[in-house]
Structure 1
Amino acid sequence: ACILGHSLGEIAAAHIAGALSEQDVADLIVERSRAQERTRGAWRMAAIGVSEDEARELLAPYRGAIHIAAVNAPTQLTLTGEAAAVEELAATLAERGRFARVLPLPYAFHSPAMDVVRDDFLSAVSHVGARASTIPYLSTVTGGELAGEALGPDYWWRNLRQPVQFAAAVRNALSRGHRTFVEIGPSPSLVRYIDEILAAEHVAGTTLGTLKRDAPAVQCVLESVAKLHVRGVAVQWERLSTGDAPHQPFPTYPWQRQRFWTESPDARALRLSGPSHPLLGTRKRGANPAWLSDIGPHTHAFLGDHCVDDRAVFPAAGYVELLLAAVAQGSKESALELSDVRFERLLWLDHTALVETAMDERARTVEICAKPATGEAEWQRHARARARVSDRPDRNLRRRCIPSEAREIDVDALYARFARSGHGYGPQFRTLRWAAAAGTDFWGRIAVEAGDAAVPSQWYLHPAILDGALQLALASVPMDEERDAKYLPVHIERVLWVRPAHGEVLCRVSNVHHQDVRSYADIELFTPAGEPVAAMYGSCCLRKEQAYRLTSSPASLYREEWAETEGGSTRIGGDGEVWVVCGSSTDGALSAAMTAARLRAVACGLSDVPPDAERIIVCAWTGEYVEPSAETVLDADWPLMQLAQSLTAHPRPVRLLLVTAGATWGQPGMASRVDLQQATLAALLRTIATELPHVQCRLLDLDPETPQQHIAQTLRELLSDAHESEVSHRRGLRFAQRIGLQQLHELSPRLLPARRTLQADFHLQSAGPGNVDELHWVESLAAPLGEGEVEIEVRAAGLNFRDVLKGLDLYPLNPAEARTFGDEFAGIVRRVAPGVTSVAPGEAVVAVAPGCFGSLVRVHSLLVAPKPARLTFEEAASIPIAFLTAEYALNDLARLAAGETVLIHAAAGGVGLAAVQVAQRCGATVLGTASPEKHHFLLESGVAHAFHSRELSFIDGVRAATGGQGVDVVLNSLSGEFLERSLELLKPLSGPVFRSTPWISPS
C-alpha cells in the first residue's frame, strides 16, 4: 500500500502515513488558511481539458498572468492567474469546443502570488517536526516517494506554492504495481482523474470513493469496503466489528409469556388503507408507482377455481388485469394498450403470496413480482409488459356480429377435454357458455355468474371473463391425443382495452395457426351489441411441458472443491474415549500415540470389530504404492464392505473414521499421485454414509509423500473439534471438502461429433424455442437446386446476437426462424444451378443465409461472393452481417455524407468497428463510445474522440468535441436514459439509427 494527497489533502495523507502529529496537522491547516486569505480576490482559478504541453503554448501570450496550478491527468489541468486573463482564456477554449470552467475560488494557490506570505508562513510552522512514516508516502509536490522526515516546514511551503503533480504521483503508484485507488473525502472528485490516467497508461484498475454528497455516510463507507473485499483487497474486519458487546447485569423480570406480533409497514398499509383495485392492492410509497397486494386462496377465493394439474395457479388473465389496472391509475385517457406482454413464471396459489406491481413511468414498463407472504424468500418476476395510453381506441377495433353460418361446439365436451389435459376450471372460471366455429374463426359467449364480478368500475377485464376468451383460443387447437389442449399462455404481442366488460361479452378468435409446440391466435371481445371491449393480438400459448421449463427457476451448477482450513481447536486430552483401531499398517504406533493422549485404543482386525463398538478407526494406508487392478481393488474393498454389513444391525450411533493416503486428487497446484485402491475405499465410505444414517462417517486422507507424519496428523484430527466429513492433508496444509458454485463460463466447451453419428448432411436445431440445452444435429433433406441457387459446404459460420436471442426465446420477429441458427458463413462451392456464373464449384466463398449452422447450405447466388484469399474461413464468416448492418444503417438509412459527424455507440464491437470503417469511407468524422481500456484501440483505428460507454459523461464530451453543435447521426445500441440523452446530441433535422430495437423505449 501507499498514500498520497492532493494539495491540502497532503497534510491529512502525511498524518495517516505517521509523519505528522494531530497538533502539527491542525497548525498547518490553520496557518495555510491564514496565508491563503491574504491573497483573496486578486486571482482566479479554472479547470481546463487540455494537455500540459498544449497549456504551456496557450499561456505563453499571457506573459506570466496565468500559471499551471495542478496537473491532475493527461488532459485535466487547473490554472490560476489574474481574474481577467483566466476568464478570457476560458472563453477562448469554450469557443474552440474545449472544456474550460472558471472555478469559484478567488485565491492564488500554487502560484507566484503566494510568495508574499512565504516568510510569515515558514515562521508560523517552524515548529512542525516530521517523523518517519509507517506507510510509503508519494508526494504530489515532487511526484516521487519521500521519507517522512522530509516533510518539514520547507516542504509544506512548497506544497502551498508549487504546482500539484497529481498525475505524476499516480503514475508512480502504478509503476509500483498498485491497481486499486480509494479516495477518502466528502465526495469523489479525484477518481475521474485516476480513471483517465489508467486509460492513458492502458492499465486496468479500480477506483472508489468513500463518501458521496447527500448520501448516508456509514452506508457509503460500508459499500466501499464491500467493493474492495470482492475485488480481493484484504479488509481488517475487526475494525468494523470489535467482537461481542459487553453484557450488562440487568435485574430479572417476571415474564408474562404473552405473544405480541409485530407488523411490517407494508402489512399495516394493506390492512388499514382501502384497495384501489381488487387485485392491485395498496399504493406503495416511492418515486415510481407501485402497488402491493396479498393474493391467495383466502383473500381471493374465486382464484381457487383456476387450476393446472390439480393445483390452483394465478391465471395469465389475472396478470393482464393487474397490468391494465397499473397503467390506468392516474390516467384520464379512455384507451389503454400493452405490448410485449410476457408471462415468465407460474404463481402457484397453495399459500398466500405477496404481489408487487411496479411501473417505470420513464420507460413505460410494468413488472409484476411475487414472493410468499411469509418467510425470507427473494422477489421473483412473474410478468412484464410495455404500456401506453390514448384518448381514442385502435382503428382495428370495430363492431362485429356472430356470422349466421357459425357451427355450434359442445361446450361440455370442450371442458371435459380441458380436464383430461390437466386444466381444471371450477364454477367461477367455467365462463364459456356457448361456442361455435365459422370458417377459420371461432366465436363464443362468455359470462360470469351473478355476484362473481365486483363492481364493474373496479375491473377492467375480469380474470374469469378474459380467461374464458383464452379457453376459446385453446378450443382452436386441433383434437389430438398427444397434444390435446395441453397449452399455457406465455406471450401476447398487443393488448388493447376500450371499456370494461359488464358481466357478458362476445369473443372472436381469429388468425389461428399452430407451429411445433406453439399456438398463435388473435382474440377480440365485444359487448352483446357488438361494441368493442378489448383485443389481444398475437396471443401465444406454449405446450405445457415447455411452459413449465420456461417459467421454472434456472438450476444452479455446483462443484466439489477443496478449501484450506485450520482444523478447529485441539483438546488437551481424549477423556478416556475408546476407539477400535483396525488395519495391518498401524503396527501399534497409532495405538501407542492415542494412549499417550488419553485416548483408549483397542487394536483388532476388521473382521473382529466388537459388536458394541461406538468409535472405529480403519487405517487403510499401506506406505507403498501398488499398481491397481480389478482384483486388488476388490480385495481392498471387501473388508470394509463386511464391516459396513456388520454395522447395519448396530444398536447405537457409530463414529467411523477411514484413514487413507492418496485417496483424493491433489489440490490445485499440489497435484499428487492417486492410489485407486484407496480411492475406491473413499467412494465406498460415501455409500456407507448414505445407506447407514446412524454411522457418522469421516474420511482422513493423509499426504502419501510424507508417511512419517501420518501418526501425528491422525492424532491431531482425533483431538480436533472440527466436524468436516472429508479432510485431506497435502504439503503440511489441511483441506476440507466443500460444495462451491460453478459458473457456466468456467466450464470447458464440449464438442459434439456431428459427422460421427450422421451420414447425410445436417444442420443444427433446437428441440423447441428457448431450449438451448437441447441443441441437436438434424439430417438435412436432399433437394434439387432451384433457379440461381448455389450449394456450399460450410467450413465456418458466424455466431451473432440474433442466434443468442433465438436460443433464449427472446427473438421478437419471425417465430419460424426460432429453431434454426446462423446467418453468415464461409465455405466451398459444391455445385451451382444452371445459369449461375458468378461462382464455380470448388471456389472458396462467403455468403449470407439463415440456418447456416450445418454441413451444407443452399442459397441464391446473389447472396454469395468470392472469399478474399488473404482471409481464413473463420475470418470471412465474421464479416458479412456486421458490415451489411453498418452499410445499411449509415448509407441507406442515415445517408451519411462527407464532412458530417457520427456518434457510434459500442464502437469497439463487431458492428461498431464495421461502422467506423464505413463512416470513414464516407469522409465523416467519427466519435465513439467503448469501455476505457478500448479507447486507445479506437483512437488508433481513426476515431477522433473516444468516450465511456457506460457513463453519461459522453454527453459533455461529445458537446465539447463538436463545439456544442452536436452530431448529424447517432448509431445507437443503448437503451433507457443513455438512448434519450444520445438523441439530445443530434443537430436539428438529423436522426438516429437504432440497433437492438426490442429494448428501445417507446417514448
Structure 2
Amino acid sequence: RRVGLPTYAFQTKHYWLDGRTGTVGVSVAGLSTLGHPLLAVGVALADGNGHVSTGRISLHTHPWLADHVVMGRALVPGAAVLELMLRAGESVGTELLDELVLHSPLVVPAGDAALDLQVAVETPDEQGRRAVRLHSRAYRPGQDDDPEWTCHAEGTLIAAPAEERSVQDTVWPPVGAEAVDIDGFYDRLAATGYGYGPVFRGIRAVWRRGEELFADVVLPEGGARDAERFGVHPALVDAALQTRLVSLLEGQGDRLMPFSFAGARLHATGATAVRARLTPVGDDALSVRLTDHAGLPVLTIETLTSRPLTADAIAGQSVDSLYEVNWAPLGSGPEQVEADGSTAVIGERLPGLDLPRHADLAALAESVRGGGAVPHTVFLPCPPPAADGAAAATADNTSAAHADGAPAAVRALLASVLG
C-alpha cells in the first residue's frame, strides 16, 4: 500500500551539528597528517633540515597500552619508542637508527588523562648524523601553565645504505634448536612483575640452540587491525623481545628492561607474524633479527642492551593527572558578603557583619514562607546548633570523639553537618 511522506520539510532542514563548522584540517595550520597511530601530525622546520612530529596518547584513545603493565604501571614499551624514532627518521630520509638510549620509562596515566608526545629530529651534522629526541608532558586542557616537557629518549639517525632483501633462516626452526616449554608462560611472567594483556601475548613457540633463542611470534587480533598503520606494531616487537625472559622463568636471569638500541633498521612494514632470532653479543646485550615466514627481514637490531628492572625505576616516574588538588583562599569579612538579604546566618551572628539571622533552618524556611527573601548564601556554624534536648548528648559525643583523636572528631562533625 502507498505510505504518506512526513509532513515536514525533512529534505531541506536538519537539526544536528554540521561537523565542518567545528573542524579545521591541520593543513590549514601548516601541518601534515602522518597517519600514524601514535603520531598525529608533523611539520618540517623552516630551514628544511629539522622535523617535529607530535601526538597524544591515553588509555582511552590507545587502550592496547593497558596490556603492557610492568611492576603495576602501564608503560609505553621500549619497542614503541623504537617505532617512534624510526618513523621520525623516515620523515627526513634517515632510516637507520644508529643509536637510541632510553632515559626513563614513559608511564601512561590512568583513566582519561593523556600525554602529549613530541619527537624532534635536528639538523644533520657534518657527517650527516641527526639527533632525535622524544619528550612528553601531561595534557591539561584549558590551562595556561603548561607542564614541563620530560625527555625520555634520545638517539642518532643516519641515512641507511641501499640493500637487497635476501632470504634468511630458510630452515625453521634452525637445525639443532630444541623446543622450550612455554606452558603457562604469561601467567608465570605475571608473578615476576610483567603483566602482559591479550595484545602483548604473541609468543607461540620458543626454541634454544646454545645461547641463541628463537621464537614464532604472532600479533593477536586486537593489534592486527592497526598493523598497516605502524612500521611494525610495537606489540609484535615487544613479544619477540619477551623471548629473552625465558631465562628469568628458569631461575637463571634477572628482570630486564630495554636500555639502548644500536643499528636498528626497518626493512618491511605491516607485519602481523614474525620469526625472531636473539643472539647474545655481550653482557646483557643481544642481536635481534625478525623475519617473515618466507625468511625475508622485517626488523634488525644490531645490539639491544638491557638493564635490570627495579621497582625504583618505575615508582620514580610521576604522572600529572588531569585533576589535582588545589587549596584556594576562602575570603571572609565584610567585603565578601552583602547585607542585602542575599546572605543569612544560622545561629550566632558573625563578627563584624550585620546579616539576617535565624535560629535554625526551620526558622529560615518559615521566614521565606512568610514573604522573606530567599538568601543566596547561608552560613551554617559547625557543629550546627543542637536542639535543647540533644545539646548535652551532642557535647558528650563531641568530647568523646576528640578523646579518640582527630579522625573520630572529623567523622562526628561531618555526621552532624549531614544530619
Common fold by TM > 0.5: yes
Whether the aligned pair in 2 keeps the contact of 1:524 and 1:534 (CA below 8 Å) is yes
Query: Which residue is 2:278 aligned to?
Result: 509
Partners of 1:499 and 1:543 in 2: how far apart? 31
- List structure 1 segments (4+ residues) > 6 angstroms apart after TM superposition: 265-270, 648-652
Counterpart AA for 2:271: H
Partners of 1:430 and 1:461 in 2: how far apart? 16
Of 24, 38, 51 in structure 2, the residue corresponding to residue 289 of structure 1 is 51
SS at match of 1:339: strand
Whether the aligned pair in 1 keeps the contact of 2:223 and 2:233 (CA below 8 Å) is no
Query: Which residue is 2:187 aligned to?
Result: 416
TM-aligned CA distance change 1:513 to 1:384, over 3 Å = same
Residues 132-189 of structure 1 show CA distances to partners (whole Å, capped at 9, x for unaligned) of: xxxxxxxxxxxxxxxxxxxxxxxxxxxxxxxxxxxxxxxxxxxxxxxxxxxxxxxxxx
Q: How far does residue 509 in structure 1 lie from its aligned partner after superposition?
A: 0.6
Q: Indicate whether 1:301 and 2:63 are aligned.
A: yes
Of 70, 86, 97 in structure 2, the residue corresponding to residue 338 of structure 1 is 97
Counterpart AA for 1:410: D
Query: Which residue is 1:491 aligned to?
Result: 260
Of 209, 216, 238 in structure 2, the residue corresponding to residue 445 of structure 1 is 216
Query: Which residue is 1:530 aligned to?
Result: 295
Alignment of 1:973-992 (within 5 A): none
Of 141, 157, 162 in structure 2, the residue corresponding to residue 387 of structure 1 is 157
Partners of 1:348 and 1:544 in 2: how far apart? 15
Q: How far does residue 497 in structure 1 lie from its aligned partner after superposition?
A: 2.1
SS at match of 2:286: strand
- Give the number of equivalent residue pairs: 289
SS at match of 1:411: coil
Of 201, 206, 212 in structure 2, the residue corresponding to residue 435 of structure 1 is 206
SS at match of 1:530: coil
Partners of 1:542 and 1:416 in 2: how far apart? 23
Whether the aligned pair in 2 keeps the contact of 1:343 and 1:489 (CA below 8 Å) is yes
Q: Indicate whether 1:520 and 2:288 are aligned.
A: no
Whether the aligned pair in 2 keeps the contact of 1:488 and 1:547 (CA below 8 Å) is no
Partners of 1:434 and 1:492 in 2: how far apart? 25
Q: How far does residue 346 in structure 1 lie from its aligned partner after superposition?
A: 1.4
Partners of 1:315 and 1:503 in 2: how far apart? 18
Q: How far does residue 531 in structure 1 lie from its aligned partner after superposition?
A: 1.3
Q: State the structure with more CA Rg.
A: 1
Whether the aligned pair in 2 keeps the contact of 1:490 and 1:547 (CA below 8 Å) is no
Query: Which residue is 1:370 aligned to?
Result: 136
Alignment of 1:88-103 (within 5 A): none
Counterpart AA for 1:314: V
Whether the aligned pair in 2 keeps the contact of 1:342 and 1:383 (CA below 8 Å) is yes
Partners of 2:61 and 2:160 in 1: how far apart? 33
Whether the aligned pair in 2 keeps the contact of 1:442 and 1:476 (CA below 8 Å) is no
For the aligned residue pairs, the C-alpha RMSD in angstroms reads 3.6
Residues 418-457 of structure 1 show CA distances to partners (whole Å, capped at 9, x for unaligned) of: 1111111111110111111122211001111346235655
Counterpart AA for 2:255: K
Q: How far does residue 292 in structure 1 lie from its aligned partner after superposition?
A: 1.2
Query: Which residue is 1:464 aligned to?
Result: 235
Partners of 1:370 and 1:324 in 2: how far apart? 17
Whether the aligned pair in 1 keeps the contact of 2:105 and 2:152 (CA below 8 Å) is yes
The alignment's TM-score, normalised by the length of structure 1, stands at 0.27
Q: Indicate whether 1:406 and 2:171 are aligned.
A: no
Tell me which of the two structures has the higher relative contact order, counting C-alpha pairs closer than 8 angstroms and 6 or more residues apart: 2
Partners of 1:492 and 1:551 in 2: how far apart? 23
TM-aligned CA distance change 1:299 to 1:407, over 3 Å = same
Q: How far does residue 406 in structure 1 lie from its aligned partner after superposition?
A: 1.7
Q: Indicate whether 1:543 and 2:308 are aligned.
A: yes
Partners of 2:314 and 2:147 in 1: how far apart? 21
Partners of 1:367 and 1:313 in 2: how far apart? 18
Q: Indicate whether 1:353 and 2:132 are aligned.
A: no
Counterpart AA for 1:506: R
Q: How far does residue 550 in structure 1 lie from its aligned partner after superposition?
A: 11
Partners of 1:454 and 1:552 in 2: how far apart? 31
More helix by share: 1
Whether the aligned pair in 2 keeps the contact of 1:440 and 1:512 (CA below 8 Å) is no
Query: Which residue is 1:323 aligned to?
Result: 85
Alignment of 1:967-978 (within 5 A): none
SS at match of 1:418: helix
Residues 724-752 of structure 1 show CA distances to partners (whole Å, capped at 9, x for unaligned) of: xxxxxxxxxxxxxxxxxxxxxxxxxxxxx
Of 75, 78, 95 in structure 2, the residue corresponding to residue 313 of structure 1 is 75
Partners of 1:498 and 1:441 in 2: how far apart? 22
Whether the aligned pair in 1 keeps the contact of 2:71 and 2:314 (CA below 8 Å) is no
Query: Which residue is 1:711 aligned to?
Result: none
Query: Which residue is 2:36 aligned to?
Result: 277
The alignment's TM-score, normalised by the length of structure 2, stands at 0.61
Counterpart AA for 1:371: R
Partners of 1:454 and 1:286 in 2: how far apart? 33
Whether the aligned pair in 1 keeps the contact of 2:211 and 2:280 (CA below 8 Å) is yes
Partners of 2:26 and 2:63 in 1: how far apart? 20
TM-aligned CA distance change 1:366 to 1:488, over 3 Å = same
Whether the aligned pair in 2 keeps the contact of 1:501 and 1:527 (CA below 8 Å) is no
Alignment of 1:468-617 (within 5 A): 468-477=239-248, 479-480=250-251, 485-511=254-280, 514=283, 519-545=284-310, 548=313, 552=317
Whether the aligned pair in 2 keeps the contact of 1:305 and 1:427 (CA below 8 Å) is yes
Counterpart AA for 1:348: V
Whether the aligned pair in 2 keeps the contact of 1:344 and 1:551 (CA below 8 Å) is no
TM-aligned CA distance change 1:330 to 1:285, over 3 Å = closer
Partners of 1:324 and 1:463 in 2: how far apart? 12
Partners of 1:502 and 1:459 in 2: how far apart? 9
Q: How far does residue 460 in structure 1 lie from its aligned partner after superposition?
A: 1.3
TM-aligned CA distance change 1:307 to 1:444, over 3 Å = same
Partners of 2:399 and 2:148 in 1: how far apart? 44
Partners of 2:292 and 2:298 in 1: how far apart? 6
Whether the aligned pair in 2 keeps the contact of 1:269 and 1:282 (CA below 8 Å) is no
Counterpart AA for 1:346: P
Q: How far does residue 338 in structure 1 lie from its aligned partner after superposition?
A: 0.9
Partners of 2:399 and 2:133 in 1: how far apart? 58
TM-aligned CA distance change 1:651 to 1:550, over 3 Å = closer
Partners of 1:301 and 1:476 in 2: how far apart? 30
Alignment of 1:885-900 (within 5 A): none
Query: Which residue is 2:335 aligned to?
Result: none
Partners of 2:177 and 2:295 in 1: how far apart? 16
Partners of 2:315 and 2:307 in 1: how far apart? 9
Counterpart AA for 1:369: H
Q: How far does residue 297 in structure 1 lie from its aligned partner after superposition?
A: 0.8
Partners of 1:465 and 1:361 in 2: how far apart? 32
Counterpart AA for 2:104: R
TM-aligned CA distance change 1:309 to 1:552, over 3 Å = closer
Partners of 1:448 and 1:512 in 2: how far apart? 27
